[in-house]
Protein backbone atom coordinates (compact mmCIF):
# COMPACT_ATOMS: atom_id res chain seq x y z
CA UNK A 1 0.00 0.00 0.00
CA UNK A 2 1.00 3.63 -0.42
CA UNK A 3 2.91 5.78 2.06
CA UNK A 4 2.73 9.57 1.80
CA UNK A 5 5.02 12.04 3.57
CA UNK A 6 2.78 14.76 4.99
CA UNK A 7 5.49 16.81 6.66
CA UNK A 8 9.25 16.62 7.06
CA UNK A 9 11.92 18.78 8.65
CA UNK A 10 15.20 18.22 10.51
CA UNK A 11 13.33 17.18 13.68
CA UNK A 12 10.51 14.92 12.51
CA UNK A 13 8.74 13.15 9.69
CA UNK A 14 4.98 12.66 9.56
CA UNK A 15 3.61 10.05 7.16
CA UNK A 16 0.28 8.58 6.25
CA UNK A 17 -0.14 4.95 5.18
CA UNK A 18 -3.10 4.28 2.92
CA UNK A 19 -4.24 1.52 5.29
CA UNK A 20 -5.34 4.28 7.68
CA UNK A 21 -2.21 4.73 9.77
CA UNK A 22 -0.70 8.03 10.88
CA UNK A 23 3.03 7.60 11.50
CA UNK A 24 5.44 10.02 13.11
CA UNK A 25 9.18 9.59 13.46
CA UNK A 26 11.00 11.92 15.82
CA UNK A 27 14.57 12.48 14.64
CA UNK A 28 15.52 14.51 17.74
CA UNK A 29 14.03 15.38 21.09
CA UNK A 30 10.79 17.24 20.39
CA UNK A 31 9.58 20.07 22.60
CA UNK A 32 7.03 22.85 22.62
CA UNK A 33 5.65 24.14 19.33
CA UNK A 34 7.53 21.57 17.21
CA UNK A 35 6.12 18.66 19.25
CA UNK A 36 2.60 20.05 19.29
CA UNK A 37 2.62 20.91 15.58
CA UNK A 38 3.50 17.35 14.56
CA UNK A 39 0.78 15.88 16.76
CA UNK A 40 -1.80 18.36 15.49
CA UNK A 41 -0.84 17.64 11.86
CA UNK A 42 -1.40 13.98 12.64
CA UNK A 43 -4.76 14.78 14.22
CA UNK A 44 -5.77 16.69 11.07
CA UNK A 45 -4.76 13.70 8.95
CA UNK A 46 -6.87 11.38 11.11
CA UNK A 47 -9.80 13.75 10.78
CA UNK A 48 -9.38 13.97 7.00
CA UNK A 49 -8.88 10.25 6.32
CA UNK A 50 -10.70 8.41 9.09
CA UNK A 51 -7.52 6.77 10.39
CA UNK A 52 -7.81 5.01 13.75
CA UNK A 53 -4.18 3.85 14.09
CA UNK A 54 -1.01 5.74 15.01
CA UNK A 55 2.62 4.67 14.88
CA UNK A 56 5.00 6.62 17.13
CA UNK A 57 8.62 6.01 16.16
CA UNK A 58 10.32 7.59 19.15
CA UNK A 59 13.73 5.91 18.97
CA UNK A 60 15.57 9.25 18.79
CA UNK A 61 13.30 11.01 21.28
CA UNK A 62 14.15 11.14 24.98
CA UNK A 63 11.60 12.65 27.36
CA UNK A 64 8.77 15.14 27.09
CA UNK A 65 8.69 18.39 28.99
CA UNK A 66 6.05 18.46 31.69
CA UNK A 67 4.09 21.16 29.84
CA UNK A 68 4.04 19.10 26.62
CA UNK A 69 2.90 16.02 28.51
CA UNK A 70 0.07 17.97 30.13
CA UNK A 71 -0.91 19.46 26.74
CA UNK A 72 -0.98 15.99 25.21
CA UNK A 73 -3.27 14.67 27.92
CA UNK A 74 -5.65 17.62 28.19
CA UNK A 75 -5.71 19.09 24.67
CA UNK A 76 -4.54 16.61 22.05
CA UNK A 77 -5.71 13.27 23.39
CA UNK A 78 -9.39 14.23 23.80
CA UNK A 79 -9.42 15.37 20.15
CA UNK A 80 -7.92 12.18 18.71
CA UNK A 81 -10.00 10.03 21.05
CA UNK A 82 -13.16 11.76 19.82
CA UNK A 83 -12.15 10.82 16.27
CA UNK A 84 -12.04 7.16 17.24
CA UNK A 85 -8.32 6.52 17.80
CA UNK A 86 -8.08 2.82 18.67
CA UNK A 87 -4.54 1.46 18.13
CA UNK A 88 -1.18 2.90 19.09
CA UNK A 89 2.11 1.24 18.20
CA UNK A 90 5.11 2.74 19.97
CA UNK A 91 8.69 2.16 18.89
CA UNK A 92 10.52 2.69 22.15
CA UNK A 93 12.99 5.49 22.69
CA UNK A 94 16.56 4.24 22.83
CA UNK A 95 17.12 5.76 26.28
CA UNK A 96 15.62 4.06 29.33
CA UNK A 97 14.24 7.30 30.78
CA UNK A 98 12.25 7.85 27.57
CA UNK A 99 10.96 4.27 27.64
CA UNK A 100 9.70 4.71 31.18
CA UNK A 101 7.91 7.95 30.32
CA UNK A 102 6.29 6.43 27.21
CA UNK A 103 5.00 3.47 29.23
CA UNK A 104 3.46 5.86 31.76
CA UNK A 105 1.89 7.95 28.99
CA UNK A 106 0.50 4.85 27.32
CA UNK A 107 -1.10 3.71 30.58
CA UNK A 108 -2.66 7.13 31.05
CA UNK A 109 -4.09 7.19 27.51
CA UNK A 110 -5.42 3.65 27.89
CA UNK A 111 -7.24 4.67 31.07
CA UNK A 112 -8.58 7.88 29.50
CA UNK A 113 -9.87 6.27 26.32
CA UNK A 114 -10.31 3.13 24.31
CA UNK A 115 -6.77 2.88 22.89
CA UNK A 116 -4.92 -0.42 22.62
CA UNK A 117 -1.17 0.14 22.97
CA UNK A 118 1.74 -2.11 22.04
CA UNK A 119 5.48 -1.48 22.28
CA UNK A 120 8.03 -2.51 19.65
CA UNK A 121 11.77 -2.40 19.10
CA UNK A 122 11.56 -1.69 15.35
CA UNK A 123 9.15 0.32 13.18
CA UNK A 124 8.59 -2.57 10.76
CA UNK A 125 7.17 -4.73 13.54
CA UNK A 126 4.96 -1.87 14.73
CA UNK A 127 3.63 -1.19 11.25
CA UNK A 128 2.91 -4.88 10.66
CA UNK A 129 0.85 -5.04 13.86
CA UNK A 130 -1.10 -1.90 12.97
CA UNK A 131 -1.88 -3.27 9.52
CA UNK A 132 -3.28 -6.41 11.14
CA UNK A 133 -5.76 -4.60 13.42
CA UNK A 134 -8.31 -1.83 13.35
CA UNK A 135 -9.86 -1.90 9.94
CA UNK A 136 -13.13 -0.50 11.29
CA UNK A 137 -14.10 2.92 9.91
CA UNK A 138 -13.64 6.09 11.90
CA UNK A 139 -16.63 7.61 13.66
CA UNK A 140 -17.10 11.17 12.46
CA UNK A 141 -17.94 12.94 15.72
CA UNK A 142 -15.25 15.65 15.99
Give the global pTM: 0.84
90 part of a folded domain = yes
Question: 84: buried, middle or exposed (CB in 10 Å: 19+, 13-18, 0-12)?
Answer: buried
What's the whole-number mean pLDDT along residues 3-18?
A: 96
Count of domains for the chain = 1
139 part of a folded domain = no
27 part of a folded domain = yes
Query: Mind listing the pLDDT tens digit for each residue in 56-100?
Result: 999 888 778 889 989 988 999 999 999 999 998 999 866 655 556
Residue 17 and residue 2 in contact, taking contact as beta carbons nearer than 8 Å: yes
Query: Mind listing the pLDDT tens digit for each residue in 91-135?
Result: 986 665 555 666 666 666 555 567 888 889 999 999 999 999 976
66 part of a folded domain = yes
105 part of a folded domain = yes
140 part of a folded domain = no
pLDDT value of position 132 = 94
Q: What share of the chain is helix, strand, coil (3-state, %, to 5)?
A: 45, 25, 30
Amino acid sequence: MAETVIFKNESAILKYHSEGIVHHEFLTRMVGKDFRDILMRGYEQMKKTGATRWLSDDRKHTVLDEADMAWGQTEWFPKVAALGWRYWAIVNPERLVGQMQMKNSAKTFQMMGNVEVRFFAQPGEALAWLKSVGNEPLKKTA
